[in-house]
Amino acid sequence: MYQGCICQQAPGLSFLLPEQYLNYPRLTGRAVVEFAIEKGDGSSFSPEAGGVPRNTAIIQVVLDGYSAPLTAGNFAKLVVDGAYDGVKLNCTEQAILSDSGAAKDKGYSVPLEIKPAEQFEPLYKTTLNVQDGELPVLPLSVYGAVVMAHSEVSEEYSSPNQFFFYLYDKRNAGLGGLSFDEGQFSVFGYTTMGRDILSQIKTGDVIRSAKLVEGQERLVLPKES
């Protein structure tokens, strides 16, 4: 798969990383990010059972560095650096996107990173052909999947900082219930708490804060960082 390249063992991972990617941040396991989302128009999120309406809601996301170490590592570093604090959100029918201009000069230009099912390491700069049975370990076709947008320059790379929550809906899916974009993006985590909040987020709502609450010891930073 990495024909013609030099690979090295990445501590904490069970597979080799191509040498040219060893100077990227990487997550060598799982981590948890907690988002505090605030209504941009002064309205409230629906109350929890027996509770009262809230101006701020909490969402937790588990990052999977086992399957997407570079993508999850870059995202975790951005969170630690405060890159998403105060960032506005934009909503479409199928996604909640972070503002593409908010952290313009932050983050690494990480190659598209997708780990196919039944393979030991991710593929880089290549998509999967789901029609031929190629499926990712981290599928897009899950409500609340956390995904990096494509780079504005090349679809072989993810955006350095723009991410989105994918609002999977089987009614808009293709054969087998798979998203039409399955295998085309770097998925690196899933919403595990606050999934009910996602449907209440509107364009103009704000990430008040994003914090790495578990797994910081698994975040490996390049020496120059």
pLDDT, tens digit only, all 225 positions of the chain: 434 444 455 556 767 788 888 889 999 999 999 999 999 998 999 877 667 778 899 999 999 999 999 999 999 999 999 999 999 999 998 899 998 776 666 788 899 999 999 888 899 999 888 778 888 889 988 999 999 999 988 889 999 999 999 998 777 767 677 777 777 899 999 999 999 999 999 999 999 999 999 999 999 998 754
Q: What local confidence, expressed as pLDDT, does residue 49 receive?
A: 62
Residue 188 CB-half CA count within 13 A: 31
| Sign of the alpha-carbon torsion through 40, 76, 91, 168 | negative
* 33: helix, strand or coil: strand
Given a contact cutoff of 8 angstroms between Cβ atoms, the answer to whether 212 and 33 are in contact is yes
What is the model's pLDDT at position 183? 76
Three state DSSP letters for 134-186: CCECCCCCCCCEEEEEECCCCCCEEEEEEEEEECCCHHHCCHHHCCCCCCCCE
Q: What is the rounded CA–CA span in Å between residue 179 and residue 222?
A: 35
What's the burial of 2, exposed, middle or buried (CB within 10 Å: 0-12/13-18/19+)? Answer: middle
Spatial separation of the C-alpha atoms in residues 109 and 112, rounded to whole Å: 9
Integer CA distances (angstroms), 170 to 5, 29, 95, 148, 178, in order: 40, 30, 14, 21, 8
Architecture of domain 27-215: Beta Barrel (2.40)
- Confidence (pLDDT) at 104: 65
